[in-house]
Amino acid sequence: MRSKAVVIISFATSALAGTPVSIKPHPFFSSWGVLGCKININRVAYWPFQPDCNKPCIKLTASNGNSLHVLHIDKSGGSYDISYDAWNYLSTGVSATVNPTYGGAIQAEYESVSMDNCKDIIKTSDGSLPVMAGNPDPYTLCPPGTWSHDHVSFWNFGSQDCSMGVDEQCTMPPGVGSQAQCPTFGGASKVNCAMRIKNLLTPGAVDVAPAGCPAVAPRTFTA
Check residue 16 and give its pLDDT. Answer: 47
Q: Report the alpha-carbon distance of residue 146 to residue 130 in Å, rounded.
A: 16
The residue with greater pLDDT, 87 or 135, is 87
Average pLDDT of 7-34? 71
Domains of the chain: 2-118 (2.40.40.10), 129-195 (no CATH)
Q: Report the alpha-carbon distance of residue 26 to residue 82 in Å, rounded.
A: 5
The residue with greater pLDDT, 18 or 23, is 23
Instruction: Please name the helix (run of DSSP H) or strand (run of DSSP E) that holds residue 156, with its range, or none.
Output: strand 152-157
C-alpha angle 41/170/11, rounded to 5°?
A: 60
Instruction: Please name the helix (run of DSSP H) or strand (run of DSSP E) that holds residue 90, with its range, or none.
Output: helix 84-92
Q: Report the alpha-carbon distance of residue 123 to residue 133 in Å, rounded.
A: 17
Q: What is the pLDDT of residues 163-181, one digit of tens each?
A: 999 999 999 887 656 788 9
* Full DSSP string of 188-199: GGSB-GGG----
163 burial via Cβ count (<10 Å: 0-12, 13-18, 19+): buried
- Per-residue pLDDT band for 212 (boundaries 50, 70, 90) equals confident
* Full DSSP string of 22-72: EEEEE----TT-B-GGGB-TTSEEEESSPPPSS--EEEEEETTS-EEEEEE
- Please measure the distance between the N-terminal and C-terminal CA atoms of the chain and give it in whole angstroms: 49
Check residue 95 and give its pLDDT. Answer: 92
Q: What is the pLDDT of residues 26-78, one digit of tens each?
A: 888 888 899 999 999 999 999 999 999 999 999 999 999 999 999 999 989 89
Kindly state the DSSP code that residue 205 receives in the 8-state scheme.
-
pTM: 0.85
- Per-residue pLDDT band for 186 (boundaries 50, 70, 90) equals very high
Q: Is the dihedral of CA 22, 110, 95, 216 positive or negative?
A: positive
- If you average pLDDT over every residue of the chain, what do you get? 86
Q: What are phi and psi of 195, to 5 degrees?
A: -100, 0
Please say whether the beta carbons of 57 and 73 come within 8 A.
Answer: no
Average pLDDT of 78-83? 95
Q: Report the alpha-carbon distance of residue 207 to residue 190 in Å, rounded.
A: 20
